[in-house]
Structures are given as C-alpha cells and as structure tokens.
Amino acid sequence: MDPHLLRTFVAVARLGSFSAAARELGYTQSAVSQHIAALEHDLGAPLLGRRPVAPTPVGARLLEHAGPLLLRLDAARADIARLTSAPTDRLAIGATPLGAAELPGALAAVRRAHPGLVVTVRVLGRESVAREVATGALDVGLVDGMAAPTDPLHMGEATPLTSARVTEQPLAVALPAGHPLAGRPGLRLADLTDAQWIDAPDTGIPLAQLRRAVGGDGFRPALRYKGDDVRALVGLAAAGHGLTVLPTPALEGMAGVTAVPVGQPRVVHRTETLHAARTGDTAAELVAALTAAVAG
C-alpha cells in the first residue's frame, strides 16, 4: 500500500482509464498497469473491473480510505514545508460563494497594514476549500454551511484544521413571488421534503445537509446547479425551477423571490474561517479581522 500506488489507483478510478491516468501522472501506461497489479496482488483481491474500468466493491472501499489518507499525507508535507520555509509576502484565500461575502472588509484592513502583499482570492466548493487549505495551496479558507446555533460546521474531519466562527445568520427558503407559501411567517423544513428543490452543492446549502438536519430522505433535486453565482441561483428559484435555502441577508433585495425564514429545525447559516494550526502572520491577521469584526 505504497502511497504512489494508491495515488495511481485513485487517478485510474476517477478517470476510468489506465491510459488517461498514465498521461495525468506522467507515467507510461505500462507503469500504471503494473501499479494496479501490484496493489491487487498486495491486497489479494481485484480492485478494478476492466472494460469498463470501474472499481469492484473492494476497490470502492479502498477508495474511501485512499482519499483521506493521501490528503493527510499532503497536509503533513505542507505543514512541515510551512514550518521550514521562510514566510512570504503572498496570501492565498479560498472561499465558498456565500462565504466570500464576509471577506472584503477584513481583507481591506490586512492589505492596508501590508502594502506589498500579493493577495489571491479563489471561489470554490466547501470540500475544495478544505482540501486546498489542508494541502497548503490556500492560507485561509472561508466556508459556510448550515448548523445548529453555536455549533461548528461539521467538515470532513479527515484533516486537522483550525476553524473559527465568522457569522451566524438566519436561514430562509427562497420562494418564487406569488408562491402559495410566500405569505407564511416561517416554514418547517420537514414539511418541504417532497417539494421541488434545486441542488446547488457548491453555491448554497447542499441538499445533503438539509437531509441530515431533518433526518429523513427526501429533498430530491429537481434541478442541479453547478455554477457558483448566487444571483443566478436565485434567478432559477424565482423562475419556479425549485426551492433553495440561503441566508436571509443574501436574499435581501433579490427580485422575484420571497424569503421565508426557516422556523424548524432551529438552524443557522454559519460562516467559518479555516486555516492550518500553524500559519503565516498575514493569514493570522486576516483570520483575526474576520472573526473579530463580527464576533465583537
């Protein structure tokens, strides 16, 4: 179970092709074939069906382990690298679309204090932010999600990252103007499990989180939105393509939708910073600015 072999394995499984994985990893196809053969011999079971190339049950199980494992390995590398290399005048920030809303103010303060600082901001999905922060590609992450009041967001837990609360805001369901429920003072999520939903896993609240909060099945997506623009998502909701849950402030002033607060369960929209246990000065300042501005 050499990490190299695991890496090729996940690449092959993801791409569904030995040759493509070889191209991506800079090996020959022959080498990839031998990697998989070595892994299968080592574990004593076939991991991939060939033609088409798809994981066997054992392979699927190995994939579940391999992801977190390789992530931890990269995270360890990155952590040590941070510890040994000199601090830079570079600050890479990653944020989910809704999390990014909190950034401008705090970032201004940091840039004022460090005029030469080269700042990069990227907008990504939750898991991507966590992964990139863990591997050191990002210095600070801003992620958002749904949680019980004062509870931390429940991230992947596969890597040891420090997190701190930035904001907690009420949640609302975005209903098309004129929707029968639009007049209600509040809504119970449990009553909406069978409604038409938009799944926007990288923009708003993923339906999986609603499902977990309510504890049922349901929340079947009628439409899947893959972009990360909030306005476009609200536009879809306004046109009646389905419901979506967003923090109330993000829905203010949005045309065509009525925001009805989520009454039950008691949940809030929470934004958190994410950063490595040990981090650079400017990153620490940004986190302090982000958490202080609102928590104070």
Q: Which residues bind a second copy (CB under 8 A)?
A: 1-3, 43-45, 57-58, 61-62, 65-66, 68-69, 72-73, 75-77, 79-81, 83-84, 157, 278
Least distance in angstroms from the C-beta of 36 to DNA: 6
130 binds, among DNA, a second copy, none (CB under 5 to 8 A by kind): none
Rounded to an integer, what distance in angstroms lies between the CA atom of residue 3 and that of residue 39?
A: 10
Site string for DNA, 25-64 (x = CB under 7 A): -xxxxxx-xxxxxx-----------xx-x-----------
Least distance in angstroms from the C-beta of 23 to DNA: 9
Q: Between residues 81 and 239, which has the closer beta carbon with respect to a second copy? A: 81
CA-closest candidate to residue 185, choices 99, 278, 264, 280: 264
Rounded to an integer, what distance in angstroms lies between the CA atom of residue 236 and that of residue 182?
A: 16
66 binds, among DNA, a second copy, none (CB under 5 to 8 A by kind): a second copy
Q: Between residues 61 and 231, which has the closer beta carbon with respect to a second copy? A: 61
Q: Which residues have a Cβ under 8 Å from the Cβ of 107 and sit 6 or more positions away?
A: 93, 119, 121, 286, 289
Contact flag: residue 3 with DNA (CB under 7 A): no
34 binds, among a second copy, DNA, none (CB under 5 to 8 A by kind): DNA
Number of residues that bind DNA (CB under 7 A): 21
Which residue in the set 3, 4, 90, 105 belongs to the binding site for DNA (CB under 7 A)?
4
192 binds, among a second copy, DNA, none (CB under 5 to 8 A by kind): none
For DNA, the binding residues (CB under 7 A) are 2, 4, 17-20, 26-31, 33-38, 50-51, 53
